[in-house]
Amino acid sequence: MTVVLHGLKYSVYTRIVKMALLEKGVAFDQVEVNPFADDMPLSYLDLHPFRRVPTLVLGDVVLYETTAITRYIDESFDGPSLQPEDPLARARMTQIISIIDNYAYIPMVRQVFSHIVLWPHLGRESDPEQVSLGLTGARLALKALENIASEGHQLNSKSRSLADLHLAAMMTYFVAADEGAEMLQEFPVLADWWQKMRLCQSLAATDPGQFPQG
């Protein structure tokens, strides 16, 4: 069956799915879609009505929403399992992914990374209020994740799961901002996790490289 990933190479969510495919050793084709571009082909909305990336197409199956996709990949292909067997451990993994989606993505990526690193790189003006909101929100999210990890409920890099892939893709952007890298040091368990996770092969293989200059 042909597996086609529609996504943007700079998108953290697209990267999470790519990492899951690589971890499982699944061959796939890629179609570059930029949901932020004015000229994005409107036919993409037939795959994803909310105009987000990624979408995975497997034969006649069309799947969007990253966690649905990564779970499906993990459960339908051979290769090392990326989800714990134990029901409570699996619930913890889901809890971590939900925290990341709902409370970490916007502050860590869209506020801290975008306003400190990306906008200046593209020659666009940053909003200090967004930076401040982002740093506050990121600290709250990281504190919650640190508590979960220090209680032994995963994100420990020993039992790598879908949650590790989820956070790693966002962490690469967050620590690209000096303020993000500094803040991570406030959370020793996560800082230690990141030291190991940043060397993970699927993360390195999906590095999108520098954003084009604005």
Give the interface segment with ligand GSH, choosing from 8-16, 22-30, 136-144, 196-204 (CB under 6 A).
8-16
Task: Count residues near ligand GSH (CB under 6 A).
Answer: 9
Residue 45 vs 199, nearer CB to ligand GSH = 45
Count of other CB atoms within 10 angstroms of residue 120 = 13
Residue 35 vs 107, nearer CB to ligand GSH = 35
Residue 64 vs 187, nearer CB to ligand GSH = 64
Count of other CB atoms within 10 angstroms of residue 112 = 27
CB of 35 to ligand GSH, least distance (A): 4
Q: Which of 3, 28, 40, 65 contacts ligand GSH by CB under 6 A?
A: 65
Residue 65 vs 127, nearer CB to ligand GSH = 65
CB 54 within 8 A of CB 21: no
- What φ, ψ does residue 107 adopt, rounded to 5°? -65, -45
Q: Which of 6, 18, 52, 166 contacts ligand GSH by CB under 6 A?
A: 52
Say whether 132 sits in a helix, a strand or coil: helix
CB 190 within 8 A of CB 148: no
112 binds ligand GSH (CB under 6 A): no
166 binds ligand GSH (CB under 6 A): no
Q: How far is CA 142 from CA 15, 61, 112, 175, 197, in A?
A: 20, 35, 13, 13, 16
Residue among 8, 10, 15, 12 nearest 206 (CA): 15
Residues that bind ligand GSH (CB under 6 A): 11-13, 35-36, 52-53, 65-66
